[in-house]
Amino acid sequence: MGDERFIGSFTQQEPIPEAGIDSATEVLRHGRLHRYNLAGDEAGEVALLEEEFAAYTGARYCLAVASGGYAMACALRALGVAPGAPVLSNGFTLAPVPGAIAAVGARPVFVETTEQLTIDLDHLAAQAGAHPQARVLLLSHMRGHVADMEALMEVARAHDLTVVEDCAHTMGARWRGVPSGRHGAIGCYSTQTYKHMNSGEGGLIVTDDATLAARMILLSGSYMLYARHRAAPPPEAFEGLTAGIPNVSGRMDNLRAAILRPQLADLDARCAAWTERYRAVERGLAGTPGLRLVERPAAERFVGSSFQFLLPGWGAERIEALLGACAARGVELKWFGAEAPHGFTSRYAHWAYADPQPLPQTDRILAGLIDFRLPLTFSLADCAQIARILRQEVTRHAPGLAAE
């Protein structure tokens, strides 16, 4: 009997809930897709989504936008980040994060990562000291790994850094009970297909700061219609701003909001289901020779929508052989140490526009970092099978490692 093979798809998401399909169909039938195209006293799907997401996160204000990348760039513009200014950010992240910094003409300054795949707070302090003009940290909770947020905010306060949280992978996560996105001044979320709510593309921004909220609403292209927002500051917060804030259009439309609202109502249950799948893979890989699991701190209520493990000390050829063997058995892995970017996966050294300076610790960690998605279309049995295949192939490729 040959080796078992996994036949599921790592990119197949769950269908949109029937309630979302019904709401989307209603929007299509009446044709008022633009968020400000309303009838009578109609609130509109976007305004209702903003109100509901603000309540979910405990934020005072929320703005729905066209993408997570737009959300981050909008936040940086609202904070007044100037062209050429340094903006601190994780060395381990994905391209939309430095892309948002570049979109406002600013300069990414990367910070090392730790073995737990979170930002290195000692190096953050060092980089903040070395770049005293940096006033903003764009913090990426990359692949759902949350740093010690109390300690991070102490570093930020010590260096007068405003924190913008990229929560693309942590919608629904918490640190010591505080929702991801609520430690910093602004939290940015994505509703792109592979995130925790799916509208194809989309984003959400939260803040408690009335002036920042007003600036972001105006930046998103509200024209003089900001009074139609429900999760927004009062009209006086906009006074004196309208003439000085450019329209950088990036609104969410009613169709996407209609798709998202039922998903928000079910978000906590979905997050729990992801983490259940993560734990199933974790159990199956525990103790595998040559493989190191990423420790998850007790203070972190994470969302396990993807899985990462480390192959410390493995050479590139051995890792490539492992990737090929797993792919032949239906298990699609991503490798952050590859020489060239591939698909959705790239790393800081590939972003020449950012003029990245070497990060030796991050390079060492990413050289052995393997990643894969855990869509909710996978059953717990699927997750156990994936872990069995990985365990078998890692064990097959690990012998002789010490001699390399």
List the domains of the chain with CATH numbers.
Answer: 18-265 (3.40.640.10), 267-403 (3.90.1150.10)
Is the pLDDT at 14 greater than 90? The verdict is yes
Query: Alpha-carbon distance 169 to 142, whole Å?
Result: 6
Phi, psi dihedral angles at 98 (to 5 degrees)? -65, -25
Query: Alpha-carbon distance 154 to 206, whole Å?
Result: 21
**Token pair 């800081």: residue:** 348
pLDDT at 322: 97
In which order are the strands placed within the sheet that holds 174-175? Answer: 178-179, 174-175, 300-301
Q: What is the mean pLDDT of residues 257-268?
A: 98
131 vs 401, residue with greater confidence: 131
What DSSP string runs through 216-232?
HHHHTT-TT-GGG-SSS
DSSP 356: P
In which order are the strands placed within the sheet that holds 186-190? Answer: 61-65, 203-207, 186-190, 162-166, 136-140, 86-90, 107-111
DSSP 82: P
Query: Residues of 359-398 as b/e, b for ≥16 C-beta within 10 angstroms?
Result: beebbbbbbbbbebbbbeebeeebbbbbbbbbbbbbeebb
Q: What is the mean pLDDT of residues 30-52?
A: 97
As beta bridge partners, residue 384 has none
Q: What is the mean pLDDT of residues 251-262?
A: 98
pLDDT at 339: 85
As beta bridge partners, residue 206 has 62, 187
Counting every residue written for the chain, the total comes to: 404
339 vs 19, residue with greater confidence: 19
Band (338; pLDDT cuts 50, 70, 90): confident
